[in-house]
Amino acid sequence: DINVNDNNNSGGSGQQSVSVNNEHGVANIDNNNGWGSWNSLWDYGSGFAVIRSFKKKSCIVHKMNKEVMPSIQALDMLAKKNK
């Protein structure tokens, strides 16, 4: 697993973290910013992703568009680079 935390938000107190699990082919992105918080899970094995918005109290499941979403390897490299 790789975790990336960014506390350098301009004018805010939020934090974003990215966890990549290469063994299971999933990535978890958390954006913690009070009621503006959201979580997203990308499952590269199934090709589906889900996002949960706390403010809207809703979850959205969608098929991942592999042409616009980074591969898990690219996401893993970005997470390591921005650690």
Q: How many domains does the chain have?
A: 1
Q: What is the pLDDT of residues 13-53, one digit of tens each?
A: 678 888 999 999 999 999 988 888 999 999 999 999 999 99
> Phi, psi (5° rounding) for residue 76?
-60, -45
Domain that holds residue 43: 2-81
Residue bearing the bigger pLDDT, 8 or 33: 33
Residue bearing the bigger pLDDT, 56 or 83: 56
Nearest to 38 by CA among 12, 20, 17: 17
In our burial notation (b when 16+ CB lie closer than 10 A, e otherwise), range 27-41 reads: bebbbeeeeebbbbb
Sheet holding 48-53, edge to edge: 2-6, 15-21, 26-32, 38-43, 48-53, 58-63
Mean pLDDT taken over the chain: 84
